[in-house]
Amino acid sequence: MDDIIVNEPAADDRVDPQCWFDSTGPLELEIGCGKGGFLLRRAQQYPDRRLIGIEWANKFYKYAADRMARWGVSNVRMIRMDAEPFVKFNLPDACLTSLFVFHPDPWPKRRHNKRRLIQTPFVDAVVRVLVPGGLWAIQTDHVDYFEQIREVVSACPDLGEIGFDEADFCTENDRIETNFEIKYRREGRAIYRLAVKKTQPNLC
């Protein structure tokens, strides 16, 4: 389990996440990985990719890290911290090929809306850390949050919407469902999805 856990970086420390792995290659991040169902299956499905799972709730973080260790996946690292400063301040530029944010806490009370993760400054930080052509997949069961997400993400000129099922992580047949997705699907709740790609710079 020690191999899987990465200590929380200092607030102003720009890290090189590739150093946390035994080899270099595409790097993916899942924010709020909960019990780690998606993270584990994604790591098993793509052993050539490196995955970071970030989760701030100690109970889920420990559960997920233990799960990764029990399954012996060597391409996962886990950090217990708030994902917002990690993306904004700790990650270097253009390091992620994919970012997954599935069922982020919706903070449904109006006076708590400001605590939501996906707001314009966070979107700007995501653009900074994605490689050109990098993908960001978002999924929620909360329609009000989804509308806000769509508004702030579509206002960003560096991100272009793609079909959720077109993205390499989401094709209909090999979609890896998250724990919350499975639960909500069984309850018959609607699930709202958005996938975007960071535009490539003009190379002329």
Residue 38 CB, nearest approach to ligand SAM (Å): 7
Comparing CB distances to ligand SAM, the nearer of 32 and 134 is 32
Check residue 82 for interaction with ligand SAM (CB under 6 A). Answer: yes
Residue from 79, 133, 139, 75 nearest 104 by CA: 139
Which of 117, 126, 149, 170 is close enough to bind ligand SAM by CB under 6 A? 117
The reply to whether 158 sits near ligand SAM by the rule CB under 6 A is no
Q: Does 56 bind ligand SAM (CB under 6 A)?
A: yes
Shortest distance in whole angstroms from residue 67 CB to ligand SAM? 13
> Applying CB under 6 A, does 54 fall inside the site for ligand SAM?
yes
- Taking CA atoms, 74 is separated from 5, 52, 54, 83, 146, in Å, by 11, 11, 16, 22, 34
Residue (of 153, 159, 157, 164) closest to 191 by Cα position: 164
64 binding ligand SAM? (CB under 6 A): no
* Helices then strands, each counted (H, E), the chain: 6, 7
Q: Does 140 bind ligand SAM (CB under 6 A)?
A: no
Taking the least distance from each CB to ligand SAM, the nearer of 46 and 199 is 46
The one among 4, 17, 28, 32 contacting ligand SAM by CB under 6 A: 32
Position 50 contacts ligand SAM (CB under 6 A): no
> Which listed residue (42, 49, 103, 197) binds ligand SAM by CB under 6 A?
103
126: nearest Cα among 46, 24, 38, 196: 196
66, 82, 105, 158: the catalytic one is 105
Q: Kindly give the interhelix angle for 120-129 and 143-154, rounded to the nearest 10 degrees.
A: 60
Stretch of 68-76, 102-110, 119-127, 158-166 contacting ligand SAM, by CB under 6 A:
102-110
Angstrom distances, CA of residue 155 to CA of 57, 121, 151, 152, 159: 31, 12, 6, 5, 9
Per-residue DSSP letter, 165: T
Determine whether 125 is exposed, middle or buried from the number of CB atoms within 10 Å of its CB (0-12, 13-18, 19+).
Answer: middle
Locus of tokens 């708030």: 82
Q: Is 105 a catalytic residue?
A: yes
Residues of the shown chain interacting with ligand SAM in the complex, contacts defined by CB under 6 A: 31-34, 54-57, 60, 82-84, 102-105, 117, 178-181
Q: List residues with catalytic annotation.
A: 105
